[in-house]
Amino acid sequence: MSRYIFVTGGVVSSLGKGVSAASLGALLQSRGYSVHVRKFDPYLNVDPGTMSPFQHGEVYVTNDGFETDLDLGYYERFLGVKLSRNDSVSGGRIYWDVLNAERHGDYLGATVQMIPHVTNKIKEYIGRPTDTDFVICEIGGTVGDIEGTIFLESIRQFANDIGRKNVMFMHLTLAPYLEQSGELKTKPTQMSVRRLLESGIQADMLFVRSPRMLTDDERAKIGMFCNLPATNVITSMNVDNIYKIPLVYESQKVFDIMAGHFGLPAIAGDMSKLQRIEKYLDADLPTCTIGVVGKYFDVPDAYKSLNEALFHAGIQNNVHVKIKKINAETFSADDCADVDGILVPGGFGTRGVEGKIAAAGYARTHNIPYMGICLGMQVAVIDFMRNVVGIKNADSTEFSKNCTPVVGIMSDCDKADMGGTLRLGAYPCNIKPGTLAEKIYGASQISERHRHRYEVDIKYKDGMEKHGMIVSGLSPDGKLPEMVEIPSHKFFIAGQFHPEFQSNPFDGHPMFNAFIAAAKNK
């Protein structure tokens, strides 16, 4: 039977529960244990798919095509696991399931209540089999949130159901530092743990977010008021990179505390992969500047997976990557004067699209390494069709109804059964031999994750290729262009998919690795 670790948060949101949960998994994996991770978000959206990047950050997509919270990206990158629709569960989805079951008659006329019907549904998702040694479940939000109360009740019940010795509760809090008095205040942590106790949950370990290491006296004080040993009070210290966090936890013997709770042997772990990243971060290396032409820069997490993938590629190329944020809505050629590469990421809507088209054109005409992702491929095609092929009103039907639709919903273009819904999740792509794409991937077929509605129209393929832009990747049925490139260019490639969703810090991703290598050479 799997053992369970529940990660909760208190005092304020955005303390880093997702990274902490992933870091615990990394410590377990370093000792040879298998790990699965799940995220429970109390908000009432059924999933994050309709939530604005300006408010919520990026929407992460799993292999099976489920739109999830961005924390699942942390889990997959840190741990190398492939997660699914069962691993990102919102309050809205829980209530949707319960109410649909009630309408279907599944409760046989019973009065449907929060307990047991809602709690049972939450526990059902928690307990879905994984065939792993550990399942780590992060509970989103902050202890005390109204919508999160039922989730705390559910994990309390779950611990009783499977036995308290098989469950560990980790609680992440904040110890604010008051500069004027020079004091680190522990009262918010005490109150948060007390609120957790009111829900019937005793924290087994506390991770206290702090700008510095807690002193022994501070740990003892927190332990006394929070009803646990001082050794189980861990400093979740601010670091300059999230991949150092597992090493910070390792230095405070976090695994030994977990081992003591679960009755595991206290063995040393292999932290070499993370130590390699730490060494890279501290190394004096050349810097490569990448201009990212986007529009969601007001929210730090809107391009989280993209930023991570560029960082990962820097590790593989032994170069530090500096991201220059270029606002697509105000794009000008001067923005690219000091960049070594240009990347146009995915996006929706008309805002800034002409700037993205211009950015692709600038990279093309100035022989600057270019990488396009999703919309970044579409704008590259639009630029090429307008300014090389000569179709001046070439555009996407997403942006204009009075145009030559080189990009559109495929049901409008070639009667393919795409409808008006998003193409989500992993799809295969056949790569044309002898292309840059084949050189990058070293394979004739790949699988990448998608999140888009519009496609490049295959009927323009011959015209593109006649003028020098080739379709180097196609869907297996030959109807959907998946990759385009310009062989005469130093490095110009774009994909309809989102390769950033399959990057990790230990290997990077082939497209990002090749892009940064080209930018580094420039």
383 shares a domain with 269: no
Residue from 374, 398, 455, 482 carrying the catalytic annotation? 374
Q: Which letter does DSSP use for residue 387 in this model?
A: I
17 pLDDT above the threshold of 80: yes
What distance in Å separates the CA atoms of residue 85 and residue 68, rounded to the nearest whole number? 8
Predicted local distance difference test score (pLDDT) of residue 419:
39
Give the CATH number of the domain where residue 98 resides.
3.40.50.300
84 shares a domain with 10: yes
Q: Is 171 a catalytic residue?
A: no
Q: Report strand pairing: 423-431 vs 470-474.
A: antiparallel
317 pLDDT above the threshold of 70: yes
Sequence-distant (≥ 6) Cβ neighbours of residue 100 within 8 angstroms: none
Least confident of 241-250, 272-281, 418-427, 475-484: 418-427
Predicted local distance difference test score (pLDDT) of residue 54:
67
Q: Which tens digits make up the pLDDT trace of 47-83?
A: 888 787 666 678 999 999 999 988 999 999 999 999 9
125 shares a domain with 104: yes
Write out the DSSP string of 393-422.
TEEETTT-SSSEEEEE-HHHHT--TTTTS-
253 shares a domain with 211: yes
Q: Is 498 a catalytic residue?
A: yes
420 pLDDT above the threshold of 50: no
Domain boundary among 248, 277, 306: 277
Q: Is 429 a catalytic residue?
A: no
Instruction: State mean pLDDT over 296-319.
Output: 93
288 shares a domain with 219: no
* Tokens of residue 67, six digits: 């739109």
User: Which residue(s) pair with 209 in the sheet?
Assistant: 174, 236
Instruction: State mean pLDDT over 456-468.
Output: 96
Domain boundary among 277, 295, 310: 277
319 shares a domain with 249: no
Domain count for the chain, please give it.
Answer: 2
324 shares a domain with 368: yes
Give the CATH number of the domain where residue 396 resides.
3.40.50.880
179 pLDDT above the threshold of 50: yes
346 pLDDT above the threshold of 60: yes
301 shares a domain with 152: no
Instruction: State mean pLDDT over 27-49.
Output: 94
Instruction: State mean pLDDT over 335-360.
Output: 95
160 shares a domain with 120: yes
Residue from 36, 171, 312, 498 carrying the catalytic annotation? 498
- φ, ψ of residue 169 to 5 degrees: the values are -105, 120
Residue from 250, 455, 485, 500 carrying the catalytic annotation? 500
Domain boundary among 224, 253, 277: 277
470 shares a domain with 394: yes
431 pLDDT above the threshold of 90: yes
304 pLDDT above the threshold of 50: yes
Which comes out higher in pLDDT, residue 179 or 253? 253
pLDDT averaged over the chain?
94
Other residues' Cβ atoms within 10 Å of the Cβ of residue 213: 13
Work out the percent of the chain whose per-residue pLDDT is above 90: 87
345 shares a domain with 205: no
413 pLDDT above the threshold of 80: no
132 pLDDT above the threshold of 70: yes
8 pLDDT above the threshold of 70: yes
358 shares a domain with 264: no
What distance in Å separates the CA atoms of residue 16 and residue 138, rounded to the nearest whole number? 11
Sequence-distant (≥ 6) Cβ neighbours of residue 58 within 8 angstroms: 70, 73, 301, 302, 303, 304, 305, 306
What distance in Å separates the CA atoms of residue 350 and residue 289, rounded to the nearest whole number? 27
- φ, ψ of residue 33 to 5 degrees: the values are -90, 145
Q: Find the domain containing 237 and state its range.
A: 3-277
502: confidence class by pLDDT, cuts 50, 70, 90: very high
> Comparing C-alpha atoms, which of 361, 306, 371, 375 is closest to residue 331?
361
H-helix or E-strand containing 452?
strand 445-452
Instruction: State mean pLDDT over 224-251.
Output: 94
